[in-house]
Structure 1
């Protein structure tokens, strides 16, 4: 029986994680390996300053006192006896769109799976609480079946964002857009008068392009964005070779 590995960055007790597990039941043996607490915005970090503990809390359900990337690495190298047919990360409570992808622990877990040549997908429920995890789970199962049937290109993962008012037939294949945040750092003072800062929140600043993940979700489409491991800007390579006279510098 094929194995489906599920993880997330919101923690082992997340409602989104349980909804994803229920949504893909019947597609194979489901093994859950997730952090013991919320790891939102940890990106692709590995824990290297302390040992990690793995606890089996239920059959085929493991909790790790580390990051989403730790969970995937430990799962593949130490917990599982065979390679998963599919890695699913989510369902995240909130969108992972545009520039936010760089910070996302949800997406980074899927990146880690892709690095081990495992077809991988990150799933996020967009909008505001309470999130529609059930609807996102149904959409995730549909795309999981597509991946299991057709595979993915080499070194490619899928980033999926599901808006709360979507319809199953409203899906767009998109590219990563831009989404910066205004007033995302908040200054406050403690009772002793010391200044402290909260990072998070603010008002999103969207780009105006219509072929992006950001625009699709704003129009209530499910966004499917293929991401690649190669971060090289190939246009930039051509530009630097043409305009930078490195030979004279090196001489």
Structure 2
């Protein structure tokens, strides 16, 4: 298990920090290139293992019904014909076995991962897998502005500082940091805010159409309805303030109050 107290710029036993990066948008995604530039501001020991094609909304899925192919495309750069979870698992337990990464960075996702988005996100799933393997992990996502290209410069400017400050704090096991950057220019970011996830009213748009053969189909859209969102949430910080939201995510999904009540009934 990687030393969870390792600081930014330094790995285990004083060696250089080793960073593994992955994503769900695929090896050619501009967000992955931005993430690599973030990582190289922290260390020269950067490894890239990403899906060979887009795996958005793959969640924490693992490929178990067919073999996986890990392909080297450049020095310390690989693709996997599978999910983000597959990528991290193969990187840590196979490719880098014996010198595991100190930190895993996932993203930068082409679009936000706020509130309940984390349950669908392949970006967050890559960080989840690293966390389950005992490695500290960050999931990075960038909110998009309608009709405009993503401003990766915001993530590149602020991302290294988020990692440095995050690694300066000791984390409990089974915790990852979900980080969302706003759709504003780097100089207009309204600070970094540590906040909880919002509970948003689900309002997915469903588009029903006919295919060229006259058969109906339904396409799930990206829009979600917004109810009154409290100020101490990731949605408010990113969408209303234009700040960076940092949310610690705990992988223990047990609801302990209900557990205690059920024990009284079934015990």
TM-score by length of 1: 0.91
RMSD of equivalent CA atoms: 1.7
Indicate yes or no: 2:222 matched with 1:222.
no
Match of 2:266 among 243, 246, 250: 246
CA distance in 1, matches of 2:254, 2:228: 22
CA distance in 1, matches of 2:81, 2:254: 33
1:62-95 Cα distance to aligned partner (Å, 9 max, x none): 0111000000000001101412111000000000
CA distance in 1, matches of 2:224, 2:250: 28
Match of 1:177 among 182, 198, 210: 198
Task: Give the drift of 1:121.
Answer: 0.3
Name the counterpart of 2:155: 136
Name the counterpart of 2:13: none
Match of 2:80 among 61, 64, 71: 64
For structure 2, list consecutive stretches of 5 or more residues without a partner in the other structure.
Answer: 1-15
Q: Which stretch has the larger CA shift, 141-150 or 9-18?
A: 141-150
Task: Give the drift of 1:27.
Answer: 2.2
Asked if 2 retains the 8 angstrom alpha-carbon contact of 1:119 and 1:147, the reply is no
CA distance 1:224–1:76, change in 2 (3 Å)? same
Indicate yes or no: 2:175 matched with 1:156.
yes
Name the counterpart of 2:26: 11
Q: Which stretch has the larger CA shift, 158-167 or 116-125?
A: 158-167
Match of 2:207 among 175, 182, 186: 186
CA distance in 2, matches of 1:85, 1:172: 24
Task: Give the drift of 1:183.
Answer: 4.4
CA distance 1:66–1:155, change in 2 (3 Å)? same
1:33-52, aligned counterparts within 5 Å? 33-52=49-68
1:34-89 Cα distance to aligned partner (Å, 9 max, x none): 00011000000001111111111110010111000000000001101412111000
Asked if 1 retains the 8 angstrom alpha-carbon contact of 2:138 and 2:176, the reply is yes
Name the counterpart of 2:36: 21
Asked if 2 retains the 8 angstrom alpha-carbon contact of 1:100 and 1:179, the reply is no
Q: Which stretch has the larger CA shift, 93-102 or 229-238?
A: 229-238
Q: Which stretch has the larger CA shift, 55-64 or 173-182?
A: 173-182
1:96-132 Cα distance to aligned partner (Å, 9 max, x none): 0011110000001101000011010000011224112
Asked if 2 retains the 8 angstrom alpha-carbon contact of 1:189 and 1:195, the reply is yes
Task: Give the drift of 1:26.
Answer: 4.3
**Aligned-partner SS, 1:136:** helix
**Aligned-partner SS, 2:208:** strand
**Aligned-partner SS, 2:219:** strand
CA distance 1:54–1:48, change in 2 (3 Å)? same
The structure carrying a bigger strand percent of its residues is: 1
Asked if 2 retains the 8 angstrom alpha-carbon contact of 1:188 and 1:196, the reply is yes
- The aligned length equals 245
For structure 1, list consecutive stretches of 5 or more residues without a partner in the other structure.
Answer: none
